[in-house]
Structures are given as C-alpha cells and as structure tokens.
C-alpha cells in the first residue's frame, strides 16, 4: 500500500468517528427540541423517532400537484417535469454557510451509490447498490424497515447501480439488477408483487428509478452493451401486469425502421436507464434512449439507427410513439442519451416562449426540442471540452483518442432547472477515451458485444475496465487530458454558458436547484457543495467521506428544511481506478443537513 493510500484510509476512519459523534449530539438535540410548527395530527409534536409511521399513500392527485407540495419530494425529479427545483428557501444563499449535518446514515451497502431518495410525510425511501430498499425517518436517519433482495443472476455493463424507487398508493417500486420489477408494501417493506421485465441471462437489467403515473409503473431496460433490443414498459401498479411495451429499436415497418440495415435492428441496443418525464397536459412520457449495439462498430448496422441516442415521446396511455429527435445519428462512441429529460419553457429564435424538452447528452451539449413535435430548437454551447478528433469513426486498424468519451460530457447525471434564474444546471466530465473498432466475431446472447475497444485513458495510461480486449490492448495516450469535471449553468434561451465551476475529478451524480438562490452538487472527492445559483460562487461544502455521485434532494418536516444526498462513489467507466489513485473509498452514507 502506498503512503498516499494509507493516508487516505486514515482520513476515512477519522471522519467516520466524527460522523458518529455528530449523529449522537443531534439525536439528543432532537428529543429536546420539538418542531417549530405543529406536526400533522397523526404524528403529534412530541412524537419520538420510533413512533413515526411509514405512509406511502401518495395519490395520483398529489403527484400531479407535486409542484405545490413544498414539503415533500414525491417523484424522482420532484415533479413530473424533472426540474429538480424546490421552492424551499429557509436555507438560502445568505445563510447556507451555517448548514450542518443532522444525521449521517450508513446503509450498510457500500458501492456505486446513485440514489435519489423519495420523501413523504417525514419518511425517506432509499435504494442502495444491489437494490436494497430502506425506509428512514427523514429527520433523524432512524431506520424503519429494510428490504434485502435475493438477487438472481445478473449481467451488468457498469456496476450494481440503482437510481431510486418510486412511491405510490401505499407501495414502493424498485427495479432490480436481475431484471425484475418489485412492488413493496410501503408500511413494512414486504414484497407485494414481482414481475420479470427482462431476462438477465440475455443481459437485461434495471438500474432506472421507475416512474409512476395514472395507475402505471413505467421502467426501461439497460443492456445496450450487449446484443439486446431494449424497451420501455408500463405495468399495472396494483397487479404488476403489463399494460404496454414500446421497443426503442423500430422494426422495419415502423417509423424510423429503415434506419437499420439488414437484421441489425433485432439486436440494436437502445437502453433506457434514467427516469422518464411526464407531460400530463399532452399525455406524453418523454425519455432519453441509450446507445446502439455494437457500440463502436457500425458497419453492420448502417443508417441513423433510430431511436438510439434520442429524446423520445410516447402517448403515455398506449405506449405509442408520438415523436423522436435524434441527438447522435449512427453513434459509434457509446453516446447514450441517458440523463433524465427535463420539461421547461424556452424562447425560440424569434423570442416566442415554447414548451420544450431538454437533455444534456454524453457528447457534451444540451439538446432542446419542441415538446409538441420533437423538432430541435437548439443545442447549447459545449459544457465540456470537445477534442478535434470527436466524431472520428473508431478505426479497425488503429485507434483514436476522443473527449468526451463514453462517460460524457454529461453521464447519467440528472440536470436541474431553476425558474427563478432561468438557468439549466448540468454536471460534466472531461476525460479522454481510446476507441478502436472490430467486427464482432460472433453474437452470443448475454455476452458483451462492444465491437472493439473503448476505454478511458489518462496521460499516464489506461483506466482498465476489465472488458474483453481492454486489458490486453496496448493503450495509446497521446493527446490524453487529465480527467476533470465541471458544473455549468446554461441559458437555454440562447445556449450560452453563464458560469462554470471546475472540479479536479469527473463530476457526476446530479444537481438540485432551490428558491434560496442555491444549487447543490457533489464531487468525487466527497465534497458536497452549495453554489450561488446566479453567480456560481461556491458558498459551502461538507465532506461526506466518499464520492458524492448522487442527486441531492430537499424537503421540509415540521417547518425545518432538510437537504439530503447519498455518498458512495461511482463504479462505472474506470472511476474505481481513479478513486484508488486518489486514495478514495466506496461508501454507504446519506448525509442529512439542516440549519440547526
Ligand atoms: O447502455 C446501457 O444499457 C447502459 C446502462 C448503464 C446502466 O444501466 O448503469 C450504463 C451505460 N450504459 C453506460 O454506457 C455508462 O456509461 C454508464 C455509467 C453508469 C453509471 O452508473 O455510472 N451506468 C452506465
Ligand atoms: Ca451504454
């Protein structure tokens, strides 16, 4: 073990002792100080932690009006438009410097922690890597129940990720890595029903946070690094019975079907692994679609390859296609459109305000489309560095180095939009990737089919992914940049970057914007930061001991505003190699912060 690693280990041990101390002091403070405002009658102001009852009875009506519900965080992106904006402002740019942890919860499951919790009526619902689900008192971190699945066989490209649960009508819905969608009783965490969405032996998995709407649970499948034909599927929330399924790769007779040569559409990829937005007024479900397969070798799938790397809208009642807009035609770089689509209004070139949908792609720009027809309104300026070699076809007799690569740009990180500042906040990674192409020897269901080598590189060498060929492959690092990250505020009315914060490591996990003129986001070194939403000035940070690579949320219980975020690091795309180099470890923490 190098000195550097040793000192990293020591820091983590010391900080965890510190956290335990914080938890203790605050737990005592909690019993002494009842909430400032009367609690809901079923709880009572003198309620102890143990008395808090789990209530997951969020109704359709409540979800539709989630924007008016200032206290709760009812949906993945807080509201169906996925803006991740909260009107709470007790914590604001003027006082955030005094923000303190009130509890640091440890879930017991360390690993790539990407969860965005749901909070309802003082209860926080969390999912961990490997799909454990836990219910906590959202003010103290006291655990109320836990679901520990016996996962079946899994075949995963990028780690044991779970991005979150959905809570509706007394149930908690979790997509599992083994391809199952499971409904839990929200009061107890016991399984109510379980449905297989995709066969894990064929490399289908669920890492997505499900969406819930109008009696349905909607999920998409991961698996596009394997020869799959992926889909989005809606299930009856009461029974788990399939309501509709939409294949993200059209057959030849469907719209866009001619954009695949031969039979390539049958195994064309097109994963969907981030939470869809819902436009209730238009009756649309809108989401991003992942890469085509094979990833780097496109000669056997000639054409644009619809609907991969696209923003896609379906009629939510039937699952029928409404429109799509492709960000990257005929992708050979694994440029999934994999961040949540955000619904917002922007000005068109004539200054007219129009309903839009936006997604910040892996290729490093925000795509803004008209929500009525999917027409591209504009692309933002790049929010990461783009190499001159970008868009070079991976050669079969050599290699090409490109940035951004398959980690983005924006990796899957949920963006935020503040209607107060009219700015769109997005994280980004500057990282070189080495690509080469190779015609796959054969196609075997459930076996990786990358069509060559793609791997992140630093100026010092490869960050090996352990994928076939990557380890054995001699890497070339000429032109490689040091991996770094940024957080950008983008004006989507003109596509310009208003401010940008730079981080020493890739930034991924997601952003929260609040009416307190604040933006919260994490860094891989464990820092959880608050910025002035207008100016980008960093106002506060707290180190959570391992990478804050998850989306923060905020909520209010008994009149107190809390901010929470998961911290565990990230296991995808060579990030464990980077973390090891810097002496950083995987973790299992959820930090809960307040002004008290
Ligand atoms: O195409 C796919 O099916 C798929 C799925 C996932 C996933 O489900 O996590 C990732 C990717 N692709 C991917 O390309 C990628 O870079 C990636 C990073 C991560 C992560 O959790 O940090 N997941 C995934
Ligand atoms: Ca992918």
Which protein residues are within 6 Å of ligand 1, measured from CB? 112, 114, 157-159, 161, 207, 222-225, 271, 273, 290-291, 334, 336, 406-407, 411-412, 570, 572-573
Give the residues across from 402 on adjacent strands: 433
Burial of 193 (0-12, 13-18, 19+ CB in 10 A): middle
Q: Provide the pLDDT confidence category of residue 474 given band limits of 50, 70 and 90.
A: low
Closest residue by CA, ligand 1 atom 9: 158
291 is in an annotated binding site: yes
Higher pLDDT pick, 312 / 578: 312
Measured in Å, residue 157 CA sits from the centre of ligand 1 at: 7
Contact criterion met (CB below 8 Å) for 551 and 574: no
* Smallest CA separation from ligand 1 atom 18, residue: 572
Closest Cα to atom 5 of ligand 1: 222
Q: CA torsion angle for 292, 294, 298, 299 (degrees, to 10)?
A: -140
* Tokens coding 362: 């892996």
Residue 84 Cα distances to 113, 285, 410, 507, 546, angstroms: 18, 17, 16, 17, 23
Strands 85-86 and 511-514: parallel
Tell me the pTM. 0.91
Q: Which ligand is nearest to the CA of 163?
A: 1
Atom in ligand 1 nearest the alpha carbon of residue 222? 3
Distance 411 CA to ligand 1 centre (A): 8
pLDDT of residue 478: 85
Supply 564's token pair: 């929470």
| 70 annotated to a ligand binding site | no
pLDDT band at 15; cut points 50, 70, 90:
very low
- Does residue 28 carry a pLDDT above 90? no
Cα–Cα dist 588/130, whole Å: 12
What integer best gives the mean pLDDT of the chain? 90
Torsion sign over Cα 458, 459, 464, 467: positive
Active site residue 334: yes
Find out whether 279 is annotated in a ligand binding site: no
User: Residue 281: which residues within 8 A CB-CB, separation 6 or more?
Assistant: none
Answer for the pair 236, 243: CB distance below 8 angstroms, yes or no.
Answer: yes
How far apart, in whole angstroms, are the C-alpha atoms of residue 406 and residue 309?
12
Q: What value does the mean pLDDT take over residues 366-380?
A: 98
Quickly tell me which residue has 């004006």 as its tokens.
Answer: 491
Question: How far apart (Å, rounded) are the C-alpha atoms in residues 80 and 475?
Answer: 44
CA–CA gap between residue 338 and residue 360 (Å, rounded): 8
ipTM of model = 0.99
Distance CA 231, CA 467 (A): 25
Domains of the chain, start order: 3-594 (2.140.10.10)
d(CA 457, CA 269): 25
The pLDDT of 256-270, averaged and rounded, is 98
H-run or E-run covering 15:
helix 3-32
Going across the sheet that includes 511-514, the strands are: 85-86, 511-514, 518-522, 527-532, 538-543
Residues with CB under 5 A from ligand 2 (ion): 224, 290-291, 336
Ligand 2 centroid to 334 CA: how many Å? 5
b/e 550-577 (16+ beta carbons within 10 angstroms → b): bbbbbbbbbebbbbbbbbbbbbbbbbbb
In this structure, of 84-93, 119-128, 462-471, the range with the lowest mean pLDDT score is: 462-471
**24: pLDDT strictly greater than 50:** no
Q: Which of 81, 304, 334, 493 is catalytic?
A: 334
Best mutation site among 268, 273, 334 for ligand 1 pocket (most ligand atoms within 8 Å of CB)? 273
The reply to whether 234 sits in an annotated binding site is no
The arithmetic mean of pLDDT across residues 535-556, rounded, is 98
Residue 35 above 70 pLDDT? no
Token duo for residue 525: 């070194």
> HEC states along 82-137?
CCCEECCCCCCCCCHHHCEEEEEEECCCCCCCCCCCEEECCEEEEECHHHCEEEEE
Task: Report how far ligand 2's centroid is from the alpha carbon of 158 (Å).
Answer: 9
Comparing CA positions, the residue from 169, 140, 161 lying closest to residue 56 is 169
pLDDT at 23 over 80: no
Tell me, what's the pLDDT at 40? 37
Asked if the model's pLDDT at residue 467 lies above 80, the reply is: no
The model's pLDDT over 118-135, given as tens digits with 9 standing for 90+, comes to 999 999 999 999 999 999
What pLDDT, on the 0 to 100 scale, is given for residue 460? 83
Cα of 95 from ligand 2 centre, angstroms: 41
Percentage of the chain surpassing pLDDT 70? 89
> Residue 320 annotated as binding?
no
Name every residue whose Cβ is closer than 8 Å to that of residue 20 and which is 6 or more positions away in sequence: none
Probe target for ligand 1 pocket from 156, 338, 406, with the most ligand atoms within 8 Å of CB: 338
Is the per-residue pLDDT at 162 higher than 50? yes
Give the model confidence (pLDDT) of 409-460 as tens digits.
999 999 999 999 999 999 999 999 999 999 998 999 999 999 998 999 988 8
**Exposed/middle/buried for 524, CB within 10 Å: 0-12, 13-18, 19+?**
buried
Residue 163 CA: which ligand 1 atom is closest? 21
Q: Whose CA is closest to atom 4 on ligand 1?
A: 222
> Quick one: pLDDT at residue 51?
54
How remote is the CA of residue 6 from the centroid of ligand 1, in Å? 31
More confident residue, 37 or 120: 120
pLDDT band at 596 (very low <50, low <70, confident <90, very high): confident
Closest CA to 259 of 228, 290, 304, 298: 304
Cα 158 to ligand 1 centroid, rounded to whole Å:
5
Ligand number with the minimum distance to the CA of 226: 1
pLDDT value, residue 4? 31
pLDDT over 90 percentage in the chain: 85
Q: Which of 356, 332, 358, 336 is nearest to 346 (CA)?
A: 356
Closest CA to 213 of 399, 351, 66: 66
For 166-212, the pLDDT digits (tens) are 999 999 999 999 999 999 999 999 999 999 999 999 999 999 999 99
pLDDT at 43 over 60: no
Residue 580 marked in a binding site: no
Q: Which run of H or E residues covers position 541?
A: strand 538-543
- Atom number, ligand 1, closest to the C-alpha of residue 407: 16
Does 137 appear as a known binding residue?
no
């Amino acid at each position: 073990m190098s000195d550097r690693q040793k000192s990293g280990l020591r820091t983590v041990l010391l900080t965890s002792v510190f956290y335990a101390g914080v938890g203790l002091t605050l737990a005592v403070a909690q019993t002494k100080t009842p909430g400032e405002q009367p609690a809901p009658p079923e709880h009572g102001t003198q309620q102890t932690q143990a008395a808090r009852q789990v209530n997951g009875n969020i109704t359709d009506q409540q979800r539709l009006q989630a924007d008016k519900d200032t206290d709760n965080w009812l949906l993945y992106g807080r509201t169906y438009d996925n803006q991740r904006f909260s009107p709470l402002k007790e914590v604001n740019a003027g006082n955030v410097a005094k923000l303190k942890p009130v509890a640091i919860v440890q879930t017991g499951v360390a690993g790539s922690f990407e969860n965005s919790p749901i909070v309802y009526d003082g209860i926080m619902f969390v999912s961990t890597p490997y799909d454990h689900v836990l219910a906590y008192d959202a003010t103290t971190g006291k655990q109320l129940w836990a679901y520990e699945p016996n996962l079946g066989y899994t075949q995963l490209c990028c780690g044991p990720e779970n991005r979150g649960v959905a809570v509706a009508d007394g149930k908690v819905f979790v997509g599992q890595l083994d391809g199952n969608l499971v409904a839990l009783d929200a009061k107890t965490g016991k399984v109510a029903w379980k449905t297989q969405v995709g066969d894990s032996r064929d490399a289908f998995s669920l890492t997505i946070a499900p969406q819930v709407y109008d009696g349905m649970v909607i999920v998409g499948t991961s698996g596009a690094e394997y020869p799959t034909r992926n889909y989005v599927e809606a299930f009856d929330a009461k029974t788990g019975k399939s309501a509709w399924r939409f294949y993200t790769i059209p057959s030849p007779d469907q719209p866009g079907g001619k954009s695949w040569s031969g039979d390539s559409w049958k195994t064309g990829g097109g994963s969907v692994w981030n939470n869809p937005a819902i436009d209730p007024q238009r009756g649309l479900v809108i989401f991003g679609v992942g890469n085509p397969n094979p990833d780097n070798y496109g000669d056997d799938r000639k054409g644009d390859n619809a609907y991969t790397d696209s923003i896609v809208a379906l009629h939510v009642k039937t699952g029928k296609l409404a429109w799509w807009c492709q960000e990257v035609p005929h992708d050979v770089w694994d440029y999934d459109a994999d961040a949540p689509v955000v619904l917002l209004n922007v000005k068109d070139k004539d200054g007219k305000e129009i309903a839009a949908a936006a997604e910040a792609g892996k290729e490093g720009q925000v795509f803004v489309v008209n929500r009525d027809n999917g027409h591209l309104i504009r692309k933002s300026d790049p929010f990461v560095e783009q190499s001159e070699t970008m868009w070079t076809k991976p050669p079969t007799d050599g290699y090409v180095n490109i940035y951004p690569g398959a980690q983005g740009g924006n990796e899957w990180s949920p963006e935020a939009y503040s209607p107060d500042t009219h700015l769109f906040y997005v994280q980004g990674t500057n990282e070189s990737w080495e690509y080469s192409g190779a015609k796959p020897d054969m196609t075997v269901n459930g076996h990786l089919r990358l069509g060559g080598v793609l791997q992140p590189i630093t100026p010092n060498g490869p960050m090996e992914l352990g994928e076939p060929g990557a380890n054995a492959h001699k890497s070339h690092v000429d032109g490689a940049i040091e991996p770094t990250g940024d957080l950008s505020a983008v004006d989507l009315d003109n596509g310009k970057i208003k401010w940008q914060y730079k981080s020493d490591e890739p930034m991924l996990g997601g952003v929260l914007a609040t009416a307190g003129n604040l933006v919260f986001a994490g860094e891989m070194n464990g820092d959880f930061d608050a910025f002035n939403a207008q100016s980008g000035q960093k106002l506060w940070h707290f180190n959570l001991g391992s990478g804050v690579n998850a989306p923060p949320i905020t909520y209010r219980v008994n009149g107190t505003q809390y901010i929470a975020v998961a911290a565990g690091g990230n296991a995808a795309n060579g990030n464990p190699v980077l973390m090891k180099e810097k002496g950083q470890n995987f973790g299992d923490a959820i930090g809960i912060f307040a002004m008290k």
